[in-house]
């Protein structure tokens, strides 16, 4: 490994380490700078783009269904993000990434042109993926990385027994509905269960939280450090390998 590359690797590892240790302090500053309420589940009216997604959800679902024709070539989340192995220890949580921490996957978005065109209209979009949860899958309780982002789920394919498929967050239980979205702060403790015999698929987004200063500058610095960290660069390499696998599956059609 060249010296400059080795040095960059050490520096970015160090930044991530410092960021993790000071995350609660940084989150308190961002909470104090937040333009929207500091709550676990937000009002969709705070995010005008949610209505755009809901109005076009059937187009998004149609593209998702085409992608899932090759579900064996859609990676388990743990293969893309080793940091998620604690909460994604098996292959029951698959993720088709279109955007990851502000980095666009040209190959994956090209396969979903209508969805991609909608995503391009969302200000502050950082991550977008089809999140596929197999029957019986459990995502144990955990917290998100930073208050710099809010999370959104748009229901695309939901088990008939909706009550047995849910997201628990900070004492509240949320159930998905096809064509409906909800936005939440994933730094609150949350977990997910699919206690049905059907798949659950949502469009999962992470979007910049509306912030005043000094939280806005701090959030962008924190997100920039993550973007150049091994957490993201390693994920990009893994996505490249899975893209080859997906293209091979497409050729066999």
Q: How confident is the model at residue 252 (pLDDT cuts 50, 70, 90)?
A: confident
Q: What pLDDT is stored for residue 180 in this prediction?
A: 98
* Alpha-carbon gap, residue 131 to 165, rounded angstroms: 14
Q: How confident is the model at residue 84 (pLDDT cuts 50, 70, 90)?
A: low
Strands 103-104 and 93-100: antiparallel
Q: Is the pLDDT of residue 9 over 60?
A: no
Q: What is the CATH number of the domain that holds 244?
A: 2.60.120.330
Q: Which residue has the tokens 């293969």?
A: 79
* Alpha-carbon gap, residue 203 to 129, rounded angstroms: 6
Domains of the chain: total: 1
pLDDT tens for residues 220-249? 988 888 887 776 777 778 888 888 888 898
Q: How confident is the model at residue 1 (pLDDT cuts 50, 70, 90)?
A: very low
Q: How confident is the model at residue 3 (pLDDT cuts 50, 70, 90)?
A: very low
- Cβ(96)–Cβ(109) under 8 Å? no
What secondary structure does DSSP assign to 109-166, as a single string?
A: HHT-HHHHHHHTTSTTEEEEEEEEE-TT-EEEEE--S-TTEEEEEEEEE--S-GGGEE
Residues 145-163 have a mean pLDDT of 97
- Cβ(222)–Cβ(148) under 8 Å? yes
Q: Is the pLDDT of residue 4 over 70?
A: no
Percent of the chain residues topping a pLDDT of 70: 88
Question: Going by C-beta distance under 8 Å and a sequence separation of 6 or more, which residues neighbour residue 98?
Answer: 104, 105, 108, 109, 112, 115, 116, 119, 128, 129, 130
pLDDT tens for residues 15-44? 555 555 677 889 999 999 999 999 999 999
- Cβ(197)–Cβ(100) under 8 Å? no
Q: Which two tokens stand for residue 17?
A: 């380490």
Across-strand partners of 127?
206
Report in angstroms the alpha-carbon separations of 243 from 89, 161, 167, 227.
22, 33, 29, 20
Between 189 and 231, the higher pLDDT residue: 189
User: Around 207, how many Cα atoms within 13 Å sit in the side-chain half-sphere?
Assistant: 22
Question: Going by C-beta distance under 8 Å and a sequence separation of 6 or more, which residues neighbour residue 161?
Answer: 196, 198
Domain residues for 61? 3-251
- Cβ(81)–Cβ(231) under 8 Å? yes
Report in angstroms the alpha-carbon separations of 126 from 18, 181, 204.
22, 17, 11
Lowest mean pLDDT across 44-48, 88-92, 162-166, 181-185:
88-92
Whether pTM > 0.75 for this model: the answer is yes
């Amino acid at each position: 490994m060249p010296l400059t590359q080795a040095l960059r690797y050490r520096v970015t590892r160090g930044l991530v380490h410092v960021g993790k240790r000071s995350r609660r302090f940084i989150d308190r500053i961002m909470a104090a700078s937040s333009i929207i309420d500091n709550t676990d589940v937000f009002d969709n009216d705070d995010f005008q783009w949610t209505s755009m997604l809901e109005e076009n959800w059937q187009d998004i679902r149609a593209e998702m269904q085409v992608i899932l024709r090759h579900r064996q070539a859609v990676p388990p989340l743990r293969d893309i993000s080793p940091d998620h192995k604690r909460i994604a220890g098996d292959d029951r949580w698959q993720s088709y990434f279109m955007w990851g921490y502000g980095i666009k996957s040209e190959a994956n978005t090209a396969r979903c042109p209508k969805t991609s065109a909608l995503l391009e209209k969302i200000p502050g979009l950082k991550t977008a993926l089809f999140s596929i949860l197999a029957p019986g899958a459990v995502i144990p309780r955990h917290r998100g990385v930073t208050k710099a982002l809010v999370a959104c789920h748009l229901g695309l394919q939901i088990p008939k027994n909706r009550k047995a498929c849910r997201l628990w967050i900070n004492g509240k239980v949320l159930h998905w509905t096809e064509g409906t979205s909800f936005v939440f702060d994933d730094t609150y403790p949350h977990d997910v269960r699919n206690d049905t015999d059907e798949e659950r698929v949502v469009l999962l987004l992470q979007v910049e939280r509306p912030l005043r200063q000094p939280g806005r500058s701090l959030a962008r610095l924190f997100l920039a450090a993550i973007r150049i960290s091994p957490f993201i660069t390693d994920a990009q390499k893994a996505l490249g390998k899975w893209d080859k696998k997906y293209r091979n599956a497409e050729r066999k059609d």
